[in-house]
Homo-oligomer: A and B are copies of this chain.
């Protein structure tokens, strides 16, 4: 996978943030790849786990970068910086985990 970085953000919105406000923030997040070339992929979703081990987090966002340098460019990009401040002001809890994926393939694939 060379230098690919997957950047996981888990969060829980504050109770004071309405569903419409949540949607607007998620749409802004999903639009970041149009402004930040280092951001090669973006996917998100809400928790549908059944093991009750999600520790209160309700939303996951995974961004993909070609390299740690791309991740670094993203973090300091003014469009990201402005958005991140707005988003973090709307959450009770946020967790960020980045990793360089090792991919396991099925023996028969």
Q: Which residues of A contact B (CB under 8 A)?
A: 1, 5-8, 10, 30-31, 33-34, 41-51, 53-55, 57, 60, 62, 68, 71-72, 75, 94-108
Contact = CB atoms under 8 A, between A and B. Distances in A.
B54 A96 contact: yes
Contacts of A101: 43-45, 62
B44 A102 contact: yes
Number of copies: 2
A48 B98 contact: yes
A94 B48 contact: no
A44 B68 CA distance: 16
Nearest to A7: B49
A100 to B, nearest CB: 5
Nearest to A43: B101
B7 A96 contact: no
Given A8-B60, A72-B50, A33 B104 contact: yes
